[in-house]
Every structure is written in structure tokens, then in C-alpha cells.
Structure 1
Amino acid sequence: MSDTTATSIWWIRRDLRLVDNEALTAAAAKGPVVPVFIYEERVEALGAAPRWRLEQSLKALAAGLEAKGLKLVLRKGAALDVLRAVIAEAGAGAVHWGRLYDPASRRIDADVKAALRDEGITAQSHAGHLLHEPMTVKTKMGDYYKVFSPFWRAIEPLGVAAPLPLPARLIAPEAWPHSDDLASWALSCDMRRGAAVLARHSTAGEVAAWEKLTRFIEERAADYKAARDQVATEGTSDLSDNLAYGEISPRSVWATGQAATAAGMRGLEPFLRQVGWRDFAHHLMFHTPHMLHDNWREGWDSFPWSEDETDAKVQAWKYGRTGVDFVDAAMRELWVTGKMHNRARMVVASYLTKHMMVHWRVGERWFADQLIDFDPANNAMGWQWVAGSGPDAAPYFRVFNPDTQLQKFDPERAYFKRWIAEGQREPPQTALDFYEAIPKHSGLSPKAVRPQPIVGLKDGRERALAAYSAR
């Protein structure tokens, strides 16, 4: 078989799209393509909501591939073992995949690449998960960036590679390797009855991602700077989960924003900065991988945080029963939608780590289980940024007051009413969905009385600042 007609494996990880996919483009250039997704240790380690969301993405990708005459091959096992088996079954001579930057992925990539190349197989990883790969952005001293603002100033003049089009030809192999049935993986099982609730509040797949981006640019982008923090307003792009699963590339988002700016739209720079923040999170994870599990800053290991997840107050925080209106509304939004407004994420994280004096790892783990847009770099950086142990230039003494934050960013209390049923004669369906999403054994009812705050805002703030001063 000549090189121009060699069958290639497209190993899919967090790039569940056809447009602007370097790995797919490289595979398609050689001949027939076998798209393969592997249920491996990294999938097994995902929380309940991320696995549910992954299943939706895989369904959407399978439909997109089928429309192009291809099939999605699903296999379970260690990556190298599965790839070797599929290579043998398909007679493939190459494997292409998109790079990821967490420690586990880097280790697996290196092992797979070395082993396959030793066996005479072309094994190539490709960019595309970020605007700029972490190893390509350096300070003048050759170091990595530790603060976002200079990082942003460094990447702005670098330019962003133009997104690739859909490959002109996608050729199917003569015979398809065996594929598992997606349902047999039971990716949604841990969501239990909450899966039906999430399904009402989310959309998955490349088509949905592009529709979101188009709608945002046409209807909301010009007002993004003013609207993005108003928690009751649909002011953001809502693309976080689509970017997390690679249903749309950050380069496509960037190029669309630049094109809109060139056409005369103003005000997109704050939105594009958020895409830069995503790059920054991965930049930090790549250079300081300990941030995923340990304090990023030195000197925080002795800070008197509690890490007792069985504590009744922690359970109250998880179920939106702290008695603090903004915190409770946000935590219920998470149960119902699998997402949380970014302003709300900062408020609930501040309340947990500062007013409640609970370790950021407790919150990070809960979000990792509950978020459909879970991204290890974004999640860890976000929690540490708020907790004070991360890269925030004004760390621990920044203590968000949930009441003043709600007054500022939800002055009509529309967000609160959307998610909190107690006290409302006719609560909206969004607030009632919470009781359908949570486990039945919780015993919670929309007719319950709102609790008093488990930690007073003034007392909690003073205790947090006293602990910080005593470090």
C-alpha cells in the first residue's frame, strides 16, 4: 500500500469536532481514517457530570461522522493496548491525536509515541486544544508566566494560527474494526435521575457549539463587558463545556471574534481575554502540575483549613443550604445545569475557603464531580485563585461578601428566584428542578424554611483574615 493511501487512526480525546482538527486533517491526508475513542483511565477518573456530558458529546460526534461516511469506533482499555489492536485490525500505518497538557496525558502520550514508533508506526500528536501551547510562551528570561496580565500581553502579539477547514475528503476503510456499544459503557449511570434534569439544560456537539458562538456574536457580544457579571442575564457565550470537550476549537472562537471586530464590532477584547485565561490555566498546569492537587504558592500547607467533607456545614454548602442567598442559588444552579456563572463560582469558592475555612480541595473535588464543563486546569486554577494559594495578585485578603455581590450583580434578585424555591408561592421550574436532580434521600422540600446562615459574613471574614495574618 502506498503512503498516500495508508489507513490512519484518529485517536480522539478532547477534540470531538471535525473543523479545525489538526489530527483529523493529518490522518485524512494519507487516506482512510478510523476515528477511535478509548475509555481509559482518564475517562474512568472523571466525575459523574463530566462523564454524562462526555456521552452526549460522543453521540453528537458519532452522528457527525456518520453524515460524512465514517464510524466512531469505541474501545475500552489501556490506550497503547487498544491502539495496537485497532492498528492490527485496520491495517493502519499511523496514529494521530491532539495534545493535552495534564501530567497523566503527557505521560501516556510519551509512552504511546515511543512504543508505536519502535514498532514502525507513525505516531504524531498535534496542537489545537489551546491558542498557544504552554511550552511556546516564555518570559524574556525563558521562564513561564506566573501572572495573567503579562502572559496576556505576551500572547497578544504572537498571533493565532488560522483554523483549519473540514478536510475535503474523509475516506472510510474497507472494513471497520469492532466497536463497543456506547450504552454498554454506562457513562451516565452515576448521574442517576439527575441526568434527565441536565439534559433539559444543556446541548452538546459541534453543531450546537457553532450555533452558540454565532448567536453570541450576533446578539450579545457587543454588551459582553457590561453583561458578563450580571448573573441573571444571558450575557456570556455559554461555550465552556463545548471548549472543554473540543467540540469547537479556541482558534475558531478567536478567528470568529477577530472577524467580527474587523467588521466593525466593538467590545470583544474582554471576551477574547477569557479565551486567554483558559490558555493561562493550562500554561500553569503544564509548568507547575502540582497545582492540580497541592497549593500552588509556597507557605500554604500549614494554613488551618478543614478538609472534613463529612462536616454538616460542607454538606449544607453542597446542597445550597448555607442560608446565604447568593451561595445557595449558585450551588443549586450547579445541580440543575451542571454549570455555574463565573461570578457565582468566585463567590461560592470564597465563602467555602474563607468564611467556612474549608480547604479548596474540597470544593475542587465537588466541582470536578458536578461540572459538565470540567477542565482540570481551569478548575484547579480557579479554586486556588480565589482561595489565596494560587496566582491571584491580590490573594487571601480578597474576601467576597455574597450579599453585596448579589446586590451588585442581581439587583432584582432574579437569579436568586430562578434557583431558590423556598418562600415563593409559585417557584419557577428551574428552582423545582433542583429537587428532581438531588438524591431522594436528601429529604429536601421546596416548602422548607430558608435556614439561617451557617457562618455569619462578618464573623467569617474576620476569622479568615485573622488566620491569614497569623500565617
Structure 2
Amino acid sequence: MTGENTPILLWFRRDLRLSDHPALHAACESGRPVIPVFILDDQAEALGAAPKWRLGLGLECFGKALADKGSRLILRRGRALTQLQALIEETGAGAVYWSRLYDPGAVERDSEVKSDLKSDGIEAKSFGGHLMFEPWTVETGEGSFYKVYTPYWNAVKGRDVDAPLSTPADIPAPGKWPDSDDLEGWTLGAAMDRGADVVRPYVQLGEKSAIARLASFMRDGVADYAKRRDLPGEDGTSGLSENLSLGEISPHRCWAAAERAREDGKAGAETFQKELVWREFAYHLMHHTPRILTDNWREKWDSFPWQEDERLAEVKAWKQGRTGVPFVDAGMRELYVTGRMHNRSRMIVASYLTKNLMCHWRIGQKWFEDCLIDWDPANNSMGWQWAAGSGPDASPYFRIFNPVTQLEKFDPDGVYAKAWIAEGQDKPPETALSYFDAIPRHWSMQAGDHYPEPVVGVQEGRQAALDAYENPDF
């Protein structure tokens, strides 16, 4: 069925952009009709409430961007291979192009699709674009993969990164479009319930917003990034994780912008590049050791006496931002109101759950999977295992962040805590009050409640973790 004039199905997943898109660029360069497709398969259906809702917003925005180019996004629901085969039958398409993903489920699905399509005589081709460095191209001198970040950074920092590709001037349309599902009918935001209206103002949606966000950060924020990125009460980060997670902007574009800033002498540019490479490192590890998504990366941690019961009162308090520890609670509430959490706060809330409360990192990983609009499988898993001590390149496993002294250090004026915790304030800000509009009603929390005492004392929890580390059975 392949041929010079047969359409190409361009299968979009986590790459909802028009610029710097190798698969789209190649399809348009061919001169053949291009049919953009998104398939809501089991893997997309399994997304948590916030990332699934954010996906719906991203698809709506991307569909409009395609329409502005005289194209459209065809939506189908079901098993990916089945839906692609049906579209091939309906359109006479002779090729399917897509951007590679790297988590085990995606790799298995895509391998099956490529094999079956090729056996049917259909061109099936995957492209890069989600990462700057394909995971299998970065090796140690011994030909193995990297297990520690700094050597990985040293290995890639001098590499050439592909320059961003421009937006195609034209996306050739087919003579007849296939039928499409209705996005609204998918109800991707159903699980968000009333929280959607609270989180929505914090979303910067789509490729245009992502590019503007990058430009603003490079102009006004990157110079002081190395210092301000650790201050949760300030707007000192790029915020681009939300857009990178759905591919509304490419890491190549971010890197190129940082390179220009670095050449201009902006001190924080290289620090920003290191954060981009931290993302690459997470994918590198996920590719080589996919168990990082589900199991302790360091197998000795299988014997660590973590609590695994999510019904524990301490776990409930942690999820609700009612631990009695302001830094932890502020972070958990920021998450519920904005769909994101400052990186310093992520480290603190993760350390508190896994060390002070002695609860398994999988509990936190699962909660973030449900609540983050910037959820990313590799970043989320590596971040949790790093904080817990069970992962590669972890902080020393015995390091237990003190959330009290950390707040004094990184939020000395209490700006962050006051922004997100209403209890105890005569006139709490709207950010703190919004939390009570977002949470499930059955939590029965109100701004006028008394702020709780710590569910576990900071020193008490720290000592329990240290005692566990010293246990010879561990």
C-alpha cells in the first residue's frame, strides 16, 4: 500500500507541537498528504486525574493549532494497533510516523505496531524529538550505562544538540478526512471534578504559551536561576515542566535558548541546562533499568521496613496537607491548587513521607501520578527513589531533610507557607483559600480549622528512620 501519493498517518502522543517536530517535518517534506491522529488507548486511559485532564486541554489546543494550518486532529479511542489499521483501511495510508517514547509500556506497544504494520507492507517509522540524547547513545568508557548524574552530565554537556526545526509552512491535507471522535465526549477531565476550575488559571496551555514562557524566562529569570530556583516563595523557575511533559515544547529549543543565554553571560543558563539533562538522565535510567518505575532500584531496599498501607492516618494527613509541618503542608496544597509543586518542596514532602513517616515511596509516586499536570513517568519515579534513598544517584540514604530548618533557610520570611496555608491567618490569601474549593468535599476541611500539631515529630521521625538504617537486617 506504500506509494508516493498515499497519505501518512502522523500518530501524536506526547509531542503536541508543530515546531521542532522531526516526524511532522519528515512527513511534510515528503509532499504526501498528512493525517494527524491521536489515539486514546489503554495507556492514555490509565492516566491519573490531573494529567488526563491536562492532556484533554492540550489536545483541544493542539487541534486548533492544526486547524489554523488547514489540517485537523483525528481522534480515535481503543487499541492503538487496531485503530491505526482501521485508519489505514479508511484512508489508504501507506505509512505511519510517530515520535518515540521510552517507558516500557510505550516501547512494547510501539514495537508491536511497527512489526505488524511492516508485515502488512506499511511503512512504520519512529523519530526522536522527546529527548536530546537517545538513551542508548550515551555510554560509559566500559560500554555500560551511567548510574550517577555528574558523569552523565560530563559525558553529554559537550555534545552537539540538534538545532530546532522550523514549523512547516504547509501541512498537506488528504482529499477526504476520516471520521473523528468528539473530544468532549471523552470526558478526560471527569476525575478532576470541581478541582478543574481551581487549577485551570495556573495552566499555560499549548505551544505558543510554552515558547512565550521560555522567552520570558530567558529574558528575566535565567540570570539568577541558580539561586532563585531553590526559593519556593519566589517565581524563580521556568515552569516549563508542564509543557515538556506533553511535548508542547522540545528540549532542543530549551537547550538552544539556554546556549544563547550562556553566551550572553547569564550566569544561571548552565544550571538550567543541567536541569534539562537531569530529565535526560531520568529517561536514560528508565530505558536501561525499567524497574525504576515499579521496584526499588537498589534491591537491598526490598527489606527496608516501610509502611505500605495507604489507609494510615499519617498518609491521609500527608495527602491532605495536614501533617502539622508547614513546609510539607504548603507543598501538598500548592500541588492541589496548581497541579504542580516547587522542586524544593517536592524533595521535602518526599523525604517526610519516606523517612519521617517511614512510608513507601510508591505511595507518594502514585499520589503525584494523580495530581501533577506536569507528570512524567521517568522524572516522577526517579525523583521519588532519589528522595527515598532507594534509587540511583540518590542523596546519601541517611540524609533526612529537616522541613523546619529547610523552611527557615529557603523561605525565611514565610512567604511560601502563608501563600498556601490558610489556618491561623486573619486574612488568608486567595491562593490558600482556593485549596478548600479544590479538595473533595468529604475531606471536610475549612479555612477556619485549627492548624494541627505534627502527626509525627520531626526529630522523632528522623530518629526512627536512622534506627531503621542501622538495622543489620537492612
TM-score class, shorter-chain normalisation, is over 0.9
**With structure 2 as the length reference, what TM-score do the two structures score?**
0.98
Q: Tell me the residue number matched to 1:23.
A: 23
Equivalence for 2:323: 322
Aligned to 1:185: 186
Q: What's 1:359 paired with? A: 360
Q: 1:217, 1:260 within 8 Å by CA — same for their partners in 2?
A: yes
Decide whether the 8 Å contact of 2:387 with 2:394 is kept in 1.
no
The aligned counterpart of 1:413 is: 414
Q: What is the SS of the residue equivalent to 2:435?
A: helix
User: Residues 393 and 360 of structure 1: is their aligned pair in 2 closer, same or farther, counting only changes over 3 Å?
Assistant: closer
Identity %: 54
What one-letter code is carried by the residue in structure 2 that aligns with 1:69?
G
TM-score by length of 1: 0.99
Contact 1:8-1:28 at 8 Å conserved across structures: no
Shift of 1:127: 0.5
Distance 1:228 1:48 in 2: 27
Q: CA deviation at 1:3?
A: 4.3
Q: Distance in 2 between matches of 1:56 and 1:431?
A: 25
Q: Pairwise mapping of residues 287-302 of structure 1 onto structure 2 (< 5 A)?
A: 287-302=288-303
Cα distance, 1:167 vs. partner?
A: 1.7
Within 2, Cα distance between the matches of 1:469 and 1:245?
A: 42
Does structure 2 retain, via aligned residues, the 8 Å contact 1:330–1:344?
yes
Aligned partner of 1:253 in structure 2 is: 254
> Which digits, 9 at most, give the CA deviation of each residue in 1:223-260, with x for residues without a partner?
00010001010000000010000000000100111122
**Map of 2:233 onto structure 1:** 232
Task: Tell me the CA shift for residue 158 of structure 1.
Answer: 1.9
How many residues get paired? Answer: 471
Structure 2 vs 1, CA of residues 404 and 258 (structure 1 numbering), >3 Å: closer, same or farther? same
Residues 137-216 of structure 1 mapped to structure 2, 5 A cutoff = 137-216=138-217
CA distance in 2, matches of 1:225, 1:267: 5
Task: Pick which of 394-403 and 94-103 moved more.
Answer: 394-403
Deviation for aligned residue 1:262: 2.6
Higher alpha-carbon deviation: 260-269 or 447-456 = 260-269
| Cα deviation, residue 2, structure 1 | 9.1
Partner residue in 2 for 1:375: 376
- Once the two structures are superposed, the pairs formed by residues 314-463 of structure 1 within 5 Å of their partners are 314-463=315-464
Question: Compared with structure 1, are the counterparts of its residues 33 and 397 closer, same or farther at alpha carbon in structure 2 (3 Å cutoff)?
Answer: same
| Counterpart code for 2:8 | S
1:13 maps to which residue? 13
What letter corresponds to residue 242 of structure 1 in structure 2?
N
Query: 2:51 aligned with 1:55, yes or no?
Result: no
Partners of 1:428 and 1:264 in 2: CA distance: 38
89-98 or 392-401, larger mean C-alpha shift: 392-401
Match in the other structure for 2:467: 466
Mean Cα deviation higher: 256-265 or 212-221: 256-265
Amino acid of the structure 1 residue aligned with 2:212: E
Tell me which residue corresponds to 2:125: 124
SS at match of 1:157: coil
Paired with 2:213 and 2:275, the residues of 1 have a C-alpha distance of 16
Question: Does the CA-based 8 Å contact 1:386-1:392 persist in structure 2?
Answer: no
Q: Deviations over 1:236-289 (max 9, x none)?
A: 000001000000000010011112223443330001100000000000000000
Match of 1:374, SS state, is: coil
Q: Is contact 1:4-1:29 (8 Å) kept?
A: no
User: 2: CA distance between counterparts of 1:459 and 1:301?
Assistant: 24
Give the superposed CA RMSD: 1.1
What is the correspondence of 1:30-49 to structure 2 with a 5 Å cutoff?
30=30, 31-49=32-50
